[in-house]
A and B are shown apart, each in its own frame.
Chain A
């Protein structure tokens, strides 16, 4: 085993350990949210999904932002490790997006009365999700590593510039129409117990992100060191 492969295996092991701890943390967050956090008076139990939905959403947005930023640095420095990190981050971001996009409608149906609405934030996250699914599809279609790295970096950078435009256009689109009355999300100020659960959950999801990315990154390095470039 080459030293590079050994280092990669160690990274994978650390990543798996971190992911394991984080997954136990997710279970604890569930328990904490259900049994030790006050129930929101108007939304009832449906509000509990908040403690998963919001951290997953923030995690996804951070993951995608990191892809964009790291892609920019990659085109400058051309260090393959940056590309492998961007790939790992995009994958984890897509997984977090799926969590966000499934928990959101589950909450929206009882509270807003609809599974989906073309609200500015919903639309933006949906298109970000599409964009990064495209990013991953592009990666799997380019066999040569250096070429794949350059192409996906270009998509990552363009995606970073697209975000404000999608947000602005969707926002302008909505403000030209009457705002729905029924679907208006309420913004309750949070009691400290709820805030505590949310912050713990955010910590757990950050850990989960780090663990997943570390594992995927280590795997990518290992695949590269064994010359198996098709191991996505």
Chain B
């Protein structure tokens, strides 16, 4: 078990180090998020739809779309110079490979979220009140699950002909439960409602995380079999 975690961490650290040296993906994703936020400010009828009404939906569309941009990177990197073959012949259990890629992806998505959230507060004139800790909790709960699904799908589509098109096509249906839940909770929290009011949604998000992390870890080895 400790071996598994050690190996997974080695893979995740490798991915993060590669990214830290080039910074292409993360910088693009952050600016993509900023652009989406800016454009959404104008994608409404001024005067009839207030910024505050639109804010939670915009936040989650931005988070999830920016996340989707970073997923392809995880395995596109390994395709160059057949680096994936090297990983596969290395004495690493497939489970550790999944966990490593998953943790790296999670790191990316959390970084993008951490950078775009202050921009969101700024652009949309959001008054956080004391909702910040609860918002962080919800963001974590929603993100942990869909990144697992994204990791599995990106490992798959990167070896197909239309990776950029297939990933959203396969992945978007899986965003339905986390996005609906996260938007509902965010709306209520920004309205100053207590966390206890959204208990049902939080349980749904947590169940999604548990189920999809488990299932994704179980099916992931099947993708890499030769």
B169 beta carbon closer than 8 Å to chain A? yes
Taking the complex as formed, is A154 at the interface, i.e. its CB lies under 8 A from any CB of chain B? yes
Cβ-defined contact, B180 with A142, below 8 A:
no
What CA separation (Å) do A159 and B170 show in the bound complex? 10
Q: Does B184 contact A (CB under 8 A)?
A: yes
Q: Judging by beta carbons under 8 Å apart, are A141 and B161 in contact?
A: yes
Q: Do B215 and A165 touch (CB < 8 A)?
A: no
**Given A134-B169, A134-B173, A169 and B225 touching (CB < 8 A)?**
no
A150–B224 CA distance with the chains assembled, in angstroms: 9
- Nearest-neighbour CB distance to chain A for B146, whole angstroms, equals 11
Chain A 153-169 near chain B by CB (<8 Å), digits 1 or 0: 11101110110011011
Q: Is the CB of A155 within 8 A of B225?
A: no
Query: A133 within 8 Å of B by Cβ?
Result: yes
Q: Please tell me if A138 contacts chain B, counting CB pairs below 8 Å.
A: yes
Q: Does the CB pair A169–B181 fall under 8 Å?
A: yes
Interface residues of B in 176-226 (CB under 8 A from A): 176-177, 180-181, 184, 200-201, 204, 207-208, 211-212, 215-216, 219, 222-223, 225
Q: Which of B70-78, B112-120, B149-157 contacts A (4 or more CB under 8 A)?
A: B149-157
B200 engages A172 (CB within 8 Å): yes
The reply to whether A154 and B204 form a contact with Cβ atoms under 8 Å apart is: no
Q: Which residues of B contact A134 (CB under 8 A)?
A: 166, 169-170, 173
Return the CB mask of A98-140 against B: 1 if under 8 Å, else 0.
0000000000000000000000000000010011011101100
Main DSSP-derived SS at the B contact region: helix
Check A166 against B156 for contact (C-beta < 8 Å): no
CA distance A161 to B225 in the complex (A): 22
Contact A127 B173 (CB under 8 A): yes
A165 and B172 in contact (CB under 8 A), knowing A141-B162, A153-B222? no
Q: Contacts A134-B170, A158-B174 known; A169 to B222 CB distance under 8 Å?
A: no
B24 interface hit (Cβ, 8 Å): no
Q: A127-B173, A158-B174, A173-B184 are in contact. Are A75 and B219 (CB under 8 A)?
A: yes
Given A138-B160, A165-B204, A176–B184 Cβ distance below 8 Å? yes
B204 touches A138 (CB 8 A): no
Question: How many Å from the CB of B74 to the closest CB on chain A?
Answer: 16
Chain B residues whose C-beta falls within 8 Å of the C-beta of A158 in the assembled complex: 149, 152, 174, 212, 215-216, 219
Find chain B residues with CB under 8 A from A142 CB.
159-160
How long is the Cα–Cα vector from A141 to B208 in the complex, in angstroms? 28
Which residue from chain A places its CB closest to the CB of B200 in the assembled complex?
Answer: A172
- Complex: chain A residue closest to B207, CB-CB: A165
Smallest Cβ distance from B192 to chain A, in angstroms? Answer: 17
Question: Which residue, B181, B201, B208, B219, has most C-beta atoms of chain A within 10 A?
Answer: B219
Q: Which residue of A lies closest to B180 (CB)?
A: A169
A131 to B166, CA, bound (A): 11
With A151-B223, A154-B152 as given contacts, are A162 and B157 in contact (CB-CB < 8 Å)? no
Q: Which residues of B contact A79 (CB under 8 A)?
A: none
Residue of A nearest to B219 (CB): A154
CB B131 to nearest CB in A, in angstroms, measures: 19
Set of chain A residues within 8 Å of B161, measured between Cβ atoms: 141
Q: Is A200 an interface residue (CB 8 A)?
A: no
A223 located at the interface, meaning its Cβ lies under 8 Å from any Cβ of chain B in the complex:
no
Q: Collect the chain B residues with CB atoms within 8 Å of residue A151's CB.
A: 156, 160, 223
In the complex, residue of chain A having the shortest beta-carbon distance to the beta carbon of B170:
A134
A159 to B219, CA, bound (A): 12
Q: Which of B160, B204, B212, B219 contacts A172 (CB 8 A)?
A: B204
Of A138, A153, A165, A173, the residue contacting B157 (CB under 8 A) is A138
A138-B180 Cα distance, complex, nearest whole Å: 26
Q: A151-B223, A154-B156, A154-B223 are in contact. Are A170 and B170 (CB under 8 A)?
A: no
Q: A151-B223, A154-B156, A168-B177 are in contact. List 6 more A-B contacts (CB 8 A).
A: A138-B156, A138-B157, A141-B166, A150-B225, A154-B223, A162-B177
B interface vs A, CB < 8 Å?
Answer: 149, 152, 156-157, 159-162, 165-166, 169-170, 172-174, 176-177, 180-181, 184, 200-201, 204, 207-208, 211-212, 215-216, 219, 222-223, 225
Q: List 17 A-B contacts (CB under 8 A).
A: A130-B173, A131-B173, A134-B166, A138-B157, A138-B160, A141-B157, A141-B160, A142-B160, A150-B225, A151-B156, A153-B219, A157-B215, A158-B212, A158-B219, A165-B211, A168-B177, A176-B184
